Structure 1
Amino acid sequence: MKDTDLQRILAYHERTKHRLERYAAGPETLDWSAQPDPFRTFEGADRILLPLLADGLDTSFPELHRPGAVPPRALTRDSVGLLLELSLALSAWKEYGPDRWSLRCNPSSGNLHPTEGYVVCRNVEGLGDGIYHYLSRDQALERRALAAADTAGGPSRLLIGLSSIHWREAWKYGERAFRYCQLDTGHAVGALRYAAAALGWGLRRVDTADASAIARLLGLDRAADFSGAEGEEAELLLEVVIGPVAPPALPVFGDLAWAGKANVLDPHPMYRWPVIDEVADASRWPGEETPPPPEADYPPRADPPAVAAAAVIRQRRSAQRFDRRFELERADFYALLDALLARPCAPWDVWNHAPALHPVLFVHRVTGLAPGLYALPRSLGAETKLRAALRRDFAWTKPAGCPGHLPLFLLAEGGCGPIARTVDCHQAIAADSAFALGMLAEFEDTLSAAPWRYRQLHWEAGLLGQTLYLEAEARGLRGTGIGCYFDDAFHELLGLSGKAFQSLYHFTVGKPLSDPRITTEAPYARTPA
């Protein structure tokens, strides 16, 4: 089965590559008036409005990266609401002419938001024990299941489950949508980790639970509740950690009284993409405890600007255009890259794997740094592997003034704006930014040992992207994730052959240009608490 799963995953990855001569299979036309409903609801489930408290949070952005800097809040309905308000909630409404759309703290490919959030709680003040679906539109919980018996007396526990609705992405992106759902999951993990840190909480993955166990816990396997509606794919389960750490395990409730039926998001789907179901089946997590990797010996990172954490989190946007005249200060550039190194603090302490993704950068305009192609191996072993896999004529020189611990190497000097633009599906943002990058994954060795890590490689890419988003915002900059790129054209540029490394995500950072025709409204009409 392992070999069969690997073959299915590799076949999916190959067939969903964008190529210079053609794009991956997708819909031939889009009717934006028939876009799937961006909000899942469960009719018949009781709703609990959560307060809006982010305006009163005094945690600074630098404090998110200092373990122990923020006193942990008690587990209550209010603190659960704050966690969700800073991670999966709406951050604004936008209007342009007759069109109106929402933005969220967690980004999504095409702003389509396939990721759904669930709350699992025991002995949390103000919430009955059970399972809840988070409705970001209303900053509310829908009670899906209530414990039938009294479970008081045990420790307080709060878990967040994430699922994907593949059709939301496939409606626009066709077969490549599974990749984007996984990137979005990684972004959501990062958003939740930063939000938990703002409350003084740790966050860990419950990796002993396999995909079917998570689906049962969240009620995603209840066929009658999803009859006629789009199903949800269980992704992962995260647990808030406060105080001493107990072994990860699923909570036990006994009998649960379930309620609610899922709404239909798209009553008239025009396409079917069976390969998405095939790769989902081949890549489900089997459930096994993952010991944390050895900690890298990096010095503590310098503090980012002392801005409010809630402001940075809620103002995160994807830039649509960049100022091509802007030059990024070299110190800020190095600080952005330094934030991508895995340290035992947020957001990387939620990740139980050695770094397997390594940025290759197109540097366009950084003060005091030569334009060109650079590499950032995020582990010692990766540098050796990349040197062996990439072009033999790459220089691999350390830039002058680069911090000694930062593994940044110049590969080739020279203007690379047109190349970056071409590789990233001819998009101007890849050339007009201060720098762009592609994330190379240790692909073949990782999947040969564990095919189901295909999802996790994308999650790590999304986590890298979320870090860049927030670190850029804290410095008055802006980022944009790029899911559309020509996979093998990028590989060929680097001299890669075979499947040892594959590019899974691209990203760009610069000074954004705003469009004054687009207006911004508050995310929620009701008054914050």
Structure 2
Amino acid sequence: MTTSRAAEAFAPAAADIAFAYHARTRHSLRRYAAGPETLDWDAQPNPFREFAGSPRSMLPLTSDRLATTFADSCNGTAPIHPLTIDGTALLLELSFGLAAWKELGPDRWALRCNPSSGNLHPTEAYVVADNIAGLSDGLHHYISREHVLEQRCRRGAVSHAQPRLWLALSSIHWREAWKYGERAFRYCQLDIGHALGAISYAATALGWHARVVDGTDSATLAAIIGLDRTDDFAGVETEDADVLVAITPRDINAPARAELPPRYTTDDTWYGQANRLDRHPLYHWPVIPEVSTATAGEAQDAVTASSPRPPLAQRSRARAADLILNRRSAQRFDAKFTMDRAAFLALLDALLPRAIPPWDIWPFAPRLHPLLFVHRVEGLTPGLYALPRSSDAGTSLRRALRPDFDWQRVERAPDHLPLFHLLPTDSRGVIRTASCHQAIAGDSCFAVAMLAEFTTMVSENPWRYRQLHWEAGLIGQALYLEAEAAGLRGTGIGCFFDESVHEMLGVVTAEFQTLYHFTVGRPLTDDRITTLPAYPGRTRNEAGVLP
């Protein structure tokens, strides 16, 4: 055996790398996962990637004219917009555009429609257009700051196919690692899940259908969005190809598995050089590219049919665009407010897979199951509850969790809602402590720990490590929008003491792992912070080619 073959024989398998990464990046009461010892906020990485030399097209801002209600959007009755540059612009405005600017003293920062841990935004959005009226065929990169598209590749041959549109997402890991160190890869994957949810809600508001294109391996996707063009990223932070989403109008019979965009040819023209985001990085976290490589790949699942469930009982008649653009992460909650029981049950019902947003974008079976720490919900005993999101998850959860949990169906809950009472207790203090001592976990009306089916999934395909985090982020985005629709607000929590949560729940093996926390309650406003328009000085419906 040669030296290289010997080293290969002892190299850890990809799944083992993913498991080792997850173990070493657990927070605990004894220590936090490895991260920077200090942060220089004046030297924060540039939150906006650009490609110098790429032709730019300014997009119209038309969300104020979209009359579709949140109810009509979710029920699949929104008017169908044509696949044109105007529709594409509106899709981007409502999924990746800026929602507002915030100011506090000398600090100014942008809020976007797709949430991000710590407002760091590692997710980049690309548009692949084929015969879209008003938009050149080829690849475009979206810059949310100005609401413009940069053309990365212009097709040399004219398409004669029906209009086709794809969105592709990538991650710049350094944007998160700058603040969070080794745990950053987890947060990047959660942000991808939130972004997928943002696409789904925006697409349905336009009468469109968005669906993840499964079976697309990482290398193929990197080629589709030009990330394999190493000269274009020379000396700058790299991007990780994550996921491709096909967009089709609701009245088009799309195939069960969407087609990939046409391959690039020598007739196509490429533009642009990626910008440097951080001139003087102080730390390096080699475990992140290691786990990224180990979890690259693909999944090919049978298309999952949603279980037949009755329509959601309560849907907001507010404009979908208003809910999307006004979504915020709560910074503090009213610790005395009690949530309405019907609103609580309706919110949980919206987490069950159906052919409505955000689950219509997701072709995979549900693998994450919320454990709910209920503090103040009208008519519910404070304590711990479980919501198994698949028919067989209840049995495996019972085996994995503490044997003294009572597993009683919640009375007067809808028959199709598998909500179980596990333990009566005042959990405000323990979940606050377990959520890295964050007060919002205890001051909320309820907090969520999302348990993922873990070991088997990742062992069979290490790419599932990404997928599980995406599903967690997707659940988080549903909680954000549904809370907003109920007049409340949510906040995602990526910092928690993994081991303490598992001990609290009785999880002693890696069969299940907690991947994400979330809280919902009535927010308290910080009057010191000023809110400013997302695009000051822009005229509605203004569009054109920028120099």
TM-score class normalised by the smaller sequence: over 0.9
Deviation of residue 66 (structure 1)? 1.3
TM-score by length of 2: 0.95
Q: Secondary structure at the match of 2:13?
A: helix
Alignment of 1:2-401 (within 5 A): 4-67=13-76, 69-151=77-159, 153-242=160-249, 243-246=252-255, 247-252=257-262, 253-254=264-265, 255-286=267-298, 288-401=299-412
Residue deviations 1:454-488 (CA, integer Å, cap 9, x gap): 00000000000000000001111000000000001
- Superposition deviation, residue 212 in structure 1: 0.6
Q: Is the 8 A contact 2:488 2:521 kept in 1?
A: yes
Distance (whole Å) between structure 2 residues aligned to residue 492 and residue 337 of structure 1: 25
Kept in 1, the 8 Å contact 2:68–2:79? The answer is no
Q: What RMSD over aligned residues (CA atoms) do the two structures have, in Å? A: 1.2
Instruction: Output aligned runs, 1:349-498, within 5 Å.
Output: 349-498=360-509
What is the CA-CA distance between 1:406 and the residue it aligns to? 0.8
Tell me if structure 2 keeps the 8 A contact 1:208–1:248: no
1-side partners of 2:410 and 2:308: how far apart? 21
One-letter amino acid of the counterpart of residue 125, structure 1: A
1:380 counterpart SS class: coil
SS in 2 for 1:379: coil
**Separation in 1 of the partners of 2:356 and 2:297?**
25
Unaligned runs of 5+ in 2: 1-7, 542-547
SS at match of 1:507: strand
Identical amino acids, percent of aligned pairs: 57
- TM-score w.r.t. length of structure 1: 0.98
The Cα shift of 1:305 comes to 1.9
State the one-letter code of the partner of 1:133.
H
CA deviations on 1:227-285 (whole Å, 9 max, x unpaired) are: 11111000010010220113422221433200110111000000000000010001112
- Aligned pair count? 526
Unmatched runs of 5 consecutive residues or more in structure 1: none
- Check conservation: 2:97, 2:144, Cα contact below 8 A: yes
What is the Cα deviation at residue 3 of structure 1?
7.3
- The separation in 2 between residues aligned to 1:352 and 1:497, in whole angstroms, is 30
After superposition, the C-alpha distances for 1:291-329 in whole angstroms (9 at most, x for unaligned) are: 222431322211322111000000011000000010000
Instruction: Give the letter aligned to residue 210 of structure 1.
Output: D
Q: Which amino acid is the alignment partner of residue 253 of structure 2?
A: P
Q: After the TM superposition, which segments of 4 or more aligned residues of structure 1 sit over 6 Å from their partners?
A: none
Deviations 1:354-407 (A, max 9, x none): 110000011000011110011111111100000111111001112222111111
Instruction: State the SS of the aligned residue for 2:449.
Output: strand
SS in 2 for 1:186: helix
Q: CA deviation at 1:204?
A: 1.2
Q: Secondary structure at the match of 2:259?
A: coil
Counterpart amino acid of residue 132 in structure 1: H
Report how far residue 64 of structure 1 moved: 1.9
Contact 1:372 1:415 (8 Å CA) reproduced:
yes
1:25-83 CA-to-partner distances (Å, cap 9, x unmatched) read 0000000000000000111101100000000001100112213x123211111100000
Contact 1:209 1:249 in 2 (8 A): no
Could you tell me how far 1:353 is from its partner in structure 2? 1.3
d(CA) in 1 for partners of 2:325, 2:529: 18
Separation in 1 of the partners of 2:438 and 2:322?
29
Find the aligned partners of 2:66 and 2:355 in 1 and give their Cα distance. 24
Answer whether contact 2:197 2:477 (CA < 8 A) is retained. yes
Amino acid at match of 1:231: T
